[in-house]
Amino acid sequence: MKILVLNSGSSSIKFQMLDMATKETLIKGLVERIGLEESLISWKSGGEKYKKTMHFPGHKEGLAAVLDILKDRDHGVISDFNEIDAVGHRYVHGGEIYKDSAVVTEEDIAALEGLNHLAPLHNPHNLVGVRAMLELIPRVPNVIVFDTSFHSRMPEKAYMFALPYELYEKYGIRRYGFHGTSHHYVALEAASMINKPFEKSKIITCHMGNGTSFSAVQNGHSVDTSLGFSTMCGIPMGTRAGDFDPGILTHLLNTGDFTSDDLHDLIYKKSGMLGVSGISSDMRDIEQKAWNEKDKRAQLALDLVHYHAKKYIGAYLSVMNGADALVFTAGIGENGWETREEICSDMEFLGIQIDREKNKVRGKRVDISAPGSRVKVLVIPTNEELMIAEETLSLTQNR
Ligand code: AMP
């Protein structure tokens, strides 16, 4: 079974084809600068890297080029499009409609259009990718795998905000959560690493990258998560503030110095580690300044990330009455052992103790718990593409 996984963004498309018999990636690549004069397609297959400059006026042309490459006589991985068993699309927002992944039908297209307003920067591009594949290879089934669906079974008390109830009814204001595919993947892997059935486990998943979210995963699904209606709240991120008092927004608006667009940019693009440090949104830059140059604001940015991360772990331990495992994943979670050490320090009372030497790894799957730690602390590199491919396979293989 060969599954093509697509992640269509505003001007780029990530693609990857997996052989599900071996779970091996056959080819992966990136279409960039869609709509510009010089677009770019780059890919890796058979251990070699390739690159081509072309012109893609839209996503459809970019995807047509991807299909050509898959079938290329010299470095392709299929000889006929019939060999593509299904296409799995990363789809950001499923609203309250999609609690699970789905095989795309005509009715879905209309339903998906109705969700664009919930994630205007992502969903419309995801939909363009789906539409393009339906046109280019109409006989191949398309599956949509949502970032929100793993969180779709959160209890009402976790997903509702204490705002007037009409806002939920009229505008769909509630916590949806994101990074669901990553949380799902690492939680499943964690359960298998600690030899517990996923359906009977309690796992805290810490997805820490440019965007960060933590989840409390109990009995096989997310029961709470730190991102909310938008991708802004929770733990401070590269450029996003995370939790702060929303009264600040109305206060700033009332000064007359800011428009609502200014405030949007402020909390999404100018805050987080970038805003506090004034240096960069990238963890490595901040660490370098804080440690090598003793820069106070860089250190404060790190302190804020560590402190909020600790608070969320404490909250989720209380929500689930303990945890079997705590998992770190994504760019910072997988590579930043210093971040893991800071977050997990002084947590003995809560059953979390790491082995500082074992923890000194980057990008590897490893159990970093100290002997006797009641909560197993694990590093698990995320693999959203594999998770999307697995979901796609399970929905299409017996059709
Ligand atoms: P992602 O969005 O998952 O690609 O993660 C990006 C973040 O991971 C950036 O803030 C990077 O600085 C961070 N990151 C990548 N490698 C390392 C590393 N070796 N140490 C600390 N942070 C890292």
pLDDT tens profile 46-58: 899 999 999 999 9
**pLDDT tens profile 70-96:** 999 888 999 999 999 999 999 999 999
d(CA 27, CA 16): 6
Shared domain check, 239 and 128: no
Nearest to 327 by CA among 194, 154, 207: 207
Q: What is the mean pLDDT of residues 178-194?
A: 98
Same domain, 100 and 234: no
Question: What's the Cα-to-Cα distance from 229 to each of 8, 225, 234, 369, 377, rounded to whole Å?
Answer: 21, 11, 11, 34, 29
- Same domain flag for 210 and 329: yes
Domain-embedded: residue 394:
no
Question: 303 and 221, same structural domain?
Answer: yes
Give the residue whose CA is nearest to atom 23 of ligand 1. 332
**Ligand 1 centre distance from Cα of residue 312 (Å):** 20
Asked whether residue 390 is domain-assigned, the answer is: no
381's CB contacts (< 8 A; 6+ apart) are 329, 334, 363, 364, 365
Question: Does residue 288 form part of some domain?
Answer: yes
| Ligand 1 contact via 362 beta carbon (within 6 Å) | yes
The whole-angstrom separation of Cα 186 and Cα 205 is 7
161 occurs within a structural domain: no
Q: Closest ligand 1 atom to the C-alpha of 382?
A: 3
Whether residue 345 sits in one domain with residue 261: yes
| Residues β-bridged to residue 152 | none
72 is a domain residue: yes
Is 28 in the same domain as 136?
yes
State phi, psi for 357 to the nearest 5 degrees.
-75, -45
Indicate the residue among 81, 114, 146 that finishes a domain: 146
The CATH number of residue 304's host domain is 3.30.420.40
Q: What order of strands is seen across the sheet that includes strand 366-367?
A: 221-225, 212-218, 202-208, 325-329, 376-379, 366-367
pLDDT band, residue 398 (cuts 50/70/90):
confident
| Assigned domain for 152 exists | no
Per-residue confidence (pLDDT) for residue 66, from 0 to 100: 97
CA of 332 to the centre of ligand 1 (A): 4
Give the span between the Cα atoms of 207 and 393, in whole angstroms. 25
Which tokens is 219 given?
Answer: 């009995």
- Residues 345, 203 share a domain: yes
What angle, rounded to 10 degrees, do the helices at 180-193 and 384-396 form? 90
Distance from the alpha carbon of residue 157 to the mean position of ligand 1, in angstroms: 33
Q: How far is CA 43 from CA 2, 259, 363, in A?
A: 17, 42, 22
284 in contact with ligand 1, CB cutoff 6 A: yes
**Is 160 domain-assigned?**
no
Domain-ending residue, one of 146, 179, 206: 146
Residues whose CB falls within 8 Å of the CB of residue 276, separated by 6 or more in sequence, listed in order? 236, 297, 300, 301, 304
- Each residue of 136-152: b (16+ CB within 10 Å) or e? ebeebbbbbbbbbbbbb
- Above 90 in pLDDT, residue 362? yes
d(CA 132, CA 114): 18
Residue identifier of the C-alpha nearest atom 19 of ligand 1: 335
Cβ neighbourhood burial of 16 (10 Å; 0-12, 13-18, 19+) = buried
Query: Could you report the per-residue pLDDT of 106-151, keeping only the tens digit for each?
Result: 999 999 999 999 999 899 999 999 999 999 999 999 999 999 999 9
Indicate if 350 and 274 belong to the same structural domain: yes
Q: Are residues 330 and 236 in the same domain?
A: yes
Q: What is the pLDDT of residue 222?
A: 98
For 22-54, how does the pLDDT look when each residue is reduced to its tens digit (9 = 90+)?
999 999 999 999 999 999 999 999 899 999 999
Among the listed residues 147, 245, 257, 324, the single catalytic one is 147
- Mapping DSSP onto H, E and C, the string for 173-221 reads CCCCCCCHHHHHHHHHHHHHHCCCCHHHCEEEEEEECCCEEEEEEECCE
- Tokens for 149, please give them: 């669906």
CA 29 – CA 41 distance, rounded (Å)? 7
Q: How confident is the model at residue 204 (pLDDT cuts 50, 70, 90)?
A: very high
User: What is the Cα–Cα distance from 385 to 263, expressed in whole angstroms?
Assistant: 34
Domain encompassing residue 17: 2-146
Residues 209 and 311 placed together within one structural domain of the fold? yes
> Helix 247-255 vs helix 260-269: angle between axes, to the nearest 10 degrees?
130
pLDDT score recorded for residue 35: 94
Among the atoms of ligand 1, which is closest to the Cα of residue 210? 2
Q: Which of 335, 359, 361, 383 to mutate to test the pocket of ligand 1 (most atoms within 8 A of CB)?
A: 335
Q: Which of 75-79, 321-325, 384-388 has the lowest mean pLDDT?
A: 75-79
Contact 4, 17 (CB under 8 A): yes
Residue 399 has pLDDT above 90, yes or no: no
* Co-location of 202 and 275 in the same domain: yes
Q: How many domains does the chain have?
A: 2
Q: What is the pLDDT of residue 121?
A: 87
Looking at 146, 161, 182, which one is the last position of a domain? Answer: 146
Q: What is the pTM of this model?
A: 0.96
Are 221 and 136 part of one and the same domain?
A: no
Cα 379 to Cα 186, 211, 325, distances in angstroms: 9, 18, 10
Q: What is the pLDDT of residue 203?
A: 99
Distance 336 CA to ligand 1 centre (A): 7
Q: Is residue 243 part of a domain?
A: yes
